[in-house]
Amino acid sequence: MAQVLIIDDEKSIRNTLREILEYEKFKVDEAEDGMAGLEKVKKNKYDLILCDIKMPKMDGIEVLENVQQISPETPVLMVSGHGTIETAVEALKKGAYDFIPKPLDLNRLLVSVRNAIDRIELVKENTQLKKKVSKGKDSPIIGESKAIHELKSMIEKVAPTDARVFITGENGTGKELVARSLHEKSHRTSGPFIEVNCAAIPSELIESELFGHEKGAFTSAIKQRKGCFEQAEGGTLFLDEIGDMSLSAQAKVLRALQENRIMRVGGEKDISVNVRVVAATNKNVQQMIKDGSFREDLFHRLSVITLHVPSLNDRREDVPLLVNHFNQLICAEYAIPQKEFSNDALKELQQINWTGNIRELRNVVERLIILSDKKITGKEVKLFANK
């Protein structure tokens, strides 16, 4: 239920607004002047403020300016029986959501109130979606083990170059994180980072995804589309799970790497591209080359530098650091105080066989945070870790 604060020195106006808003299922609070209103804003969280302009002690414009300092995300709807066009313009310039003159048009008032509340909800949803989209993508590579120190050292050396990098490692070890780190530490950091999950795209569509297509190239090609190579111009193209790419697509990727040129599906002319390619797989590429399912010449083009991301089982000493990192992230997402992990809980987590690596550990930490009390002990780990 949205909470609205009414700031107006006229009791009859406050009563009228309260009745209307409570009928519309809003929770209403009120203040008789600007000073009292600001005190309430400091103590409570409001979804919307309705504020008169002409009031004793402090006028509405001054209240608006103070609200923006105290709670800048809260929309303020100004109302006044003494309003002029100049007053309305001044209020809107200073950040008011809307200006409604008295006597109040109740229909217009309710429309403005609902729009303001809807806007707040959209902002909240957008913030949550951004958190979900960016979850883990801006995270640093966590760990102090020898293997991670060596990996970080290699990234520092390789990132400033344009050398192609082939990243290997089990599922969930953080290969994408390594690819992003290479991009962020390179001279291409201002360019795009485009990721293609080759395993998630059907083989008949992978070429269109990578190279784009011309209008009419196939039945559903109703308009021209740029592929990921063009989208990544000036930046980095990350080919994740490249071991699942078809041989036909592999041949075209090889040509693109050799010539720095591509051709859209259904196209007739070459397009120059300036892209750094980073590839990754969890498969045994040497065995795939022997089996004929992966081109050896493509592998050599992609693997100027090879980086191996160690499994979590090979760096168990990093588990406490990762747990602390995920504890901070997850509790922030849920807007709850951080949970405490006891020493025996951390020891229990270090003993688990992490077949899903970092991804699995994060899920377990999130489960423990949800299901446990303030302090998480070894008992909770034994009880919930393998659920």
Quick: pLDDT tens for 147-205: 999 999 999 999 999 999 999 999 999 999 999 999 999 999 999 999 999 998 888 88
Residue 141 lies in a domain: no
- Count of CB atoms within 10 A of residue 192's CB? 15
Q: Could you list the residue range(s) of the whole structural domain that residue 353 is in?
A: 313-384
Clarify whether residues 17 and 93 are in a common domain: yes
Clarify whether residues 253 and 357 are in a common domain: no
How much is the pLDDT for 286?
A: 95
Cβ 166 vs Cβ 280: under 8 Å: yes
Q: What is the number of domains present in the chain? A: 3
Helix and strand element counts for the chain (H, E): 16, 16
Q: How far apart are CA 186 and CA 184, in angstroms?
A: 6
Domain CATH for 301: 3.40.50.300
The DSSP secondary-structure symbol of 241 reads T
How much is the pLDDT for 134?
A: 46
Cα 163–chain centre separation: 28
Q: SS3 for 153-184, per residue?
A: HHHHHHCCCCCCEEEECCCCCCHHHHHHHHHH
Clarify whether residues 301 and 153 are in a common domain: yes
Clarify whether residues 159 and 250 are in a common domain: yes
Can the peptide bond before residue 103 be classed as cis, meaning omega within 30 degrees of 0? yes
Indicate whether this model's pTM tops 0.85: no
Confidence at 386, pLDDT banded by 50, 70, 90: confident
How much is the pLDDT for 83?
A: 60
Q: How far apart are CA 44 and CA 34, in angstroms?
A: 15
